[in-house]
């Protein structure tokens, strides 16, 4: 079976700005379920072993798409590095949801895609974004969260919040790149102005889709209790815990191996099994 890879497809979103997406799919006459992967905070489409995960899902018979959110700090000229920290600082949840909508709208029109079978896979903060989108967009009938947060209210508190409002910006160190990543106060204002829309707990309860919640028991960034909470909120969901797995399931940047890390391979096989069972 021939695997087709379309890399760095330029998408336009009038509400944000242009950004890039990749599509991986098998050469076939059949229409394929659309799987859209949503990266997390300080993430991007080519980070770590996501390409290997994309290939494996495509080989299993899915039309797999991953993309760079328009304001994730990368650019269409340089999709692998955070070269636009001004854009990063001006990112917010409204923009990420708008970009995700633009991705779905674009790829449901592709001839190889079955527009009745749309699945989101969201990692970390991308999990929270995917949960909200699944609730809002009834075209989506499958949702898989990977190491997802159970709330998007992840901001400085009390004095630190007041200081952010006064200064207009606060910085977070990127441990890998050593860049000071700015967050402008508009990020918090966007959340406050849309607090009901961005209620991940409510969206989890209300989501009308097949739901699989995946988490590592040794996640150092998002506690496994987040996954257990999501599962309780949506009792029809399936909870799958990966023993001793960390936040990125063994993947890191750069990933130079030819194979998936052990834990991410377990995760990918579980995703394929879940989708075959419920959405093929």
pLDDT, tens digit (0-9, with 9 covering 90-100), for 140-164: 999 999 999 999 999 999 999 999 9
Given the DSSP bridges, would you call strands 210-216 and 180-184 parallel, antiparallel or unpaired?
A: unpaired
Give the Cα separation of 106 and 25 in Å (integer).
16
User: How many Cβ atoms from other residues are within 10 Å of residue 226's Cβ?
Assistant: 22
* Nearest of 21, 83, 56 to residue 268 by alpha carbon: 56
**pLDDT at 204 exceeding the cut of 90:** yes
CB–CB of 150/221 below 8 Å? no
For the cut 90, the answer to whether the pLDDT of residue 1 exceeds it is no
Residue 241, SS3 per DSSP: strand
> Both ends of the chain: CA-CA distance in Å?
18
The pLDDT of 242-271, averaged and rounded, is 98
The pTM assigned to this predicted structure is 0.98
Q: With cut-offs at 50, 70 and 90, classify the pLDDT of residue 171.
A: very high
Contact 33, 271 (CB under 8 A): no
Q: How confident is the model at residue 280 (pLDDT cuts 50, 70, 90)?
A: confident
Cα–Cα distance between 72 and 88 in angstroms, integer? 5
Domains delineated in the chain: 3-152+198-279 (3.40.50.1820)
The pLDDT tens digits for 3-32 are: 999 999 999 999 999 999 999 999 999 999
């Amino acid at each position: 079976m021939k695997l087709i890879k379309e890399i760095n497809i330029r998408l336009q979103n009038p509400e944000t700005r242009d950004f890039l997406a990749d599509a991986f799919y098998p050469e076939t006459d059949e229409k394929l379920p659309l799987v859209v992967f949503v990266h997390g905070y300080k993430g991007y489409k080519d980070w770590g072993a996501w390409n290997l995960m994309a290939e494996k899902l495509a080989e299993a018979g899915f039309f797999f798409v991953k993309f760079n959110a328009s304001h994730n700090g990368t650019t269409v000229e340089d999709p692998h590095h955070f070269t636009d920290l001004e854009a990063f600082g001006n990112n917010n949840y409204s923009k990420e949801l708008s970009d995700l909508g633009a991705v779905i709208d674009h790829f449901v029109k592709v001839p190889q895609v079955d527009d009745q079978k749309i699945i989101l896979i969201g990692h970390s903060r991308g999990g929270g974004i995917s949960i909200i989108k699944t609730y809002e967009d009834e075209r989506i009938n499958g949702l898989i969260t990977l190491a997802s947060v159970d709330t998007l209210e992840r901001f400085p508190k009390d004095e630190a919040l007041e200081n952010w409002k006064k200064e207009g910006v606060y910085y977070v160190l990127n441990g890998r790149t050593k860049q000071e990543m700015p967050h402008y106060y508009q990020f918090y204002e966007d959340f406050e102005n849309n607090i009901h829309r961005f209620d991940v707990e409510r969206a989890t309860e209300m989501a009308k889709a097949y739901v699989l919640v995946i988490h590592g028991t040794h996640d150092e960034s998002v506690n496994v209790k987040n996954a257990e909470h999501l599962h309780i909120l949506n009792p029809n969901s399936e909870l799958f815990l990966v023993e001793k797995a960390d936040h990125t399931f063994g993947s890191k940047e750069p990933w130079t191996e030819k194979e998936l890390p052990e834990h991410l391979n377990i995760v990918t096989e579980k995703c394929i099994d879940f989708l075959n069972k419920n959405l093929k």
